[in-house]
Amino acid sequence: MRKQTTRVPPEAWLNQHITPEMLRQMEELALRRDMLTLLTYVRDNKVVGTQSTGNMPLKAVREVTACFVNPPVLEETIGDHTYRLRSETDIWPLYFLHVLAEVGKLLDVAPARRWRLTRSGEEFLNAPPVIQVLVLLSIWWYQVNWLVAYSFVGMGDALPPALNTIALAHLRALPVERAVAFEPFADELIAKAGLRWTSRDTTFHRSALHSAVEFMVINILKNFGVLKVAYREEPLGLGTISTLDTFELTPLGNVLLGALSFM
C-alpha cells in the first residue's frame, strides 16, 4: 500500500506549486501533443486492429507518426540492406502511446475490431494540459507493466511489486536542478527494490540491470519533462558509444512527482 501523508488531491498539489513556465512546458510537451494526435486520429478515422494483435495497421501508423512533433524514421537503409516498417511495435514512440492509451482506457482496442475512443479518452482530449500530463504519467507509474520498455528474458516475468514506490521515493529525495550520477543511483535502486537478473548467464547482469533502470525509469521520465539527461562518449571498437552519465530533476519534474505521490 502506498503511504500517504495527507489527503491533498493531486490536482490541488499541482495548482499550489505550478508556475506559468511549467504550464508552458506541459503545453509544449511532445508526448502530450503526440497523444492528442493519436486520439484525434482514432476519433476521426476508421482504424481496424490487426488480426493477430489488434495493433494499428501500417497505413495508419504512417499517417499518425507523420503528424508527431518529431516524426520517427520508419525506414532506413544501411549499406545494401533496407530496414522497413513491419509492425506498430517497431516504432517505440507510437507503441508507447498505444500502451498508455489502452491500459489507461482512453482507447478500446482489440484484434480485428475498430479502435474506438472511450468516454475517458474524450474527456482527456478536453482536459487542460496539466491534467493530461499527470494522467499519462500516473498511468505509466501505477498501471503499466514497466517490462514493456525493457522486455528482455533475463528480467523474468514480473518486476518487484515495490519498484515504482521505491523509485518514486528515491527520485523525490533528489535535489532539483543538480546533476546526479546515474550508476550509483541505479545501484541503490536495484538493491533496495530487489531488482534481479534471472538469466543463468550473469556476465553482464549489472550493465543489464542498469539498462533496465535507464529504459524503464530515466528515459520515460525524460519524455515527460521530469528529468534532463547527459551522456558521455566511451570507446567501442573503432568508434564511440553514448552512455548515460548524469541526470537532473527539473522543477516541473519535482512538482509532477509530488502530485504523483498523492495518487
In the structure grid, which three cell numbers stand for residue 25, read together? 512546458
Q: Which helix (H) or strand (E) is 59 found in, with range?
A: helix 58-65
Low-confidence ranges of the chain (pLDDT < 50): 1-6
Q: What local confidence, expressed as pLDDT, does residue 190 receive?
A: 96
Nearest residue to 186 (alpha-carbon basis) of 120, 235, 138, 243: 243
pLDDT, tens digit, for every residue of 113-130? 999 999 999 999 999 999
The single-letter DSSP state of residue 217 is: I
What CATH fold (topology level) applies to the domain 147-260?
Arc Repressor Mutant, subunit A (1.10.10)
Domain assignments of the chain as residue spans, ordered by start: 10-144, 147-260
Nearest residue to 20 (alpha-carbon basis) of 125, 124, 123, 129: 129
Q: What local confidence, expressed as pLDDT, does residue 205 receive?
A: 86
Per DSSP bridges, beta strands 76-78 and 227-236 are unpaired
Torsion of the alpha carbons at 149, 195, 224 and 30, rounded to the nearest 10: -10
Q: What local confidence, expressed as pLDDT, does residue 200 receive?
A: 75
Q: What local confidence, expressed as pLDDT, does residue 2 receive?
A: 43
